[in-house]
Chain A
Amino acid sequence: DTGVSQDPRHKITKRGQNVTFRCDPISEHNRLYWYRQTLGQGPEFLTYFQNEAQLEKSRLLSDRFSAERPKGSFSTLEIQRTEQGDSAMYLCASSYLGATNEKLFFGSGTQLSVL
């Protein structure tokens, strides 16, 4: 078990460009979450999936953000027309629905810098 893997670790982009991040959860985990975290703040919920179904998307999330989990395994998070305010750490986490004390296992994150 290699844990939750995120790629890339760092991304620098120019304002207006599109970016895509990938997350590979722990293999037997059926739930996958995306969070955004800025310096000194707690993780902010973006969206989550159960298998391939997107169960909820944050109402605060712009339409420029979209996430998929096409086969219920890995997930991608795309940000279109990036803005400087999108600069943050994007964290992916997974969990197993059905575990007695279902908890999140986090990846190392993708640090996005929008210039």
Chain B
Amino acid sequence: AQKITQTQPGMFVQEKEAVTLDCTYDTSDPSYGLFWYKQPSSGEMIFLIYQGSYDQQNATEGRYSLNFQKARKSANLVISASQLGDSAMYFCAMREPRGKFQFGAGTQVVVTP
């Protein structure tokens, strides 16, 4: 069963604008971790941000913030002040209690000048 859902296959955003990437997840476990990774065209997977299921505050890492809505089981990524170098695939992932990580299908972001 699909546990991570990313409904936006692709998005265009103008430079310096903010963009929100959607992610919903499905689990009955109370303990889990949520992650966002970036994969540029070069192929490497780059960790961006982490949110634990018990964390009370939304995670932030520089221009990245995670909008965590536990009751809705959503973990949207917000990228502020987009840069051309932000063009990439973005994957949402969930770490299950036993340690397995599941990934969504990804969202392709293209930043335009």
Binding site for B on A (CB under 8 A): 31, 33, 35, 40-45, 48, 50, 55-56, 89, 91, 93, 95, 97, 101-106, 108-109
**A-side contacts of B91, CB under 8 Å:** 42-43
Q: How far is the CB of A25 from chain B (nearest CB, A)?
A: 14
- Docked Cα-Cα span, A102 to B98, in Å, equals 12
**B-side contacts of A50, CB under 8 Å:** 99
Q: Say whether chain B's binding surface is mostly helix, strand, loop, or mixed.
A: strand
- Are the C-beta atoms of B35 and A103 separated by less than 8 Å? yes
- Segment at the interface with A among B13-21, B62-70, B73-81, B100-108: B100-108
**B-side contacts of A31, CB under 8 Å:** 99
Q: How far is the CB of A55 from chain B (nearest CB, A)?
A: 7
Task: Please tell me if B44 contacts chain A, counting CB pairs below 8 Å.
Answer: yes
Count of CB-CB pairs between chains A and B under 8 Å: 60
A-B pairs with beta carbons under 8 Å apart, 19 shown: A31-B99, A42-B104, A43-B45, A43-B103, A45-B100, A45-B101, A48-B99, A50-B99, A55-B100, A91-B45, A93-B101, A101-B33, A103-B47, A104-B35, A104-B101, A105-B47, A106-B44, A108-B43, A109-B43
Task: Please tell me if B40 contacts chain A, counting CB pairs below 8 Å.
Answer: no
- Are the C-beta atoms of A101 and B50 separated by less than 8 Å? yes
Chain B: number of interface residues, binned into ranges: 20 to 34
Interface residues of B in 71-113 (CB under 8 A from A): 91, 93, 95, 98-106, 108
Q: Say whether chain A's binding surface is mostly helix, strand, loop, or mixed.
A: strand
- Are the C-beta atoms of A102 and B95 separated by less than 8 Å? yes
- Are the C-beta atoms of A42 and B106 separated by less than 8 Å? yes
Residue of A nearest to B91 (CB): A42
- Are the C-beta atoms of A89 and B106 separated by less than 8 Å? no
- Docked Cα-Cα span, A93 to B101, in Å, equals 10
Q: How far is the CB of B21 from chain A (nearest CB, A)?
A: 13
Q: How far is the CB of A71 from chain B (nearest CB, A)?
A: 20
Residue of A nearest to B52 (CB): A101
Residue of B nearest to A44 (CB): B103
Further 10 A-B residue pairs, CB within 8 A, beyond A93-B45, A104-B45, A109-B43: A33-B101, A40-B108, A41-B105, A42-B6, A43-B91, A43-B103, A101-B50, A104-B37, A106-B37, A108-B43
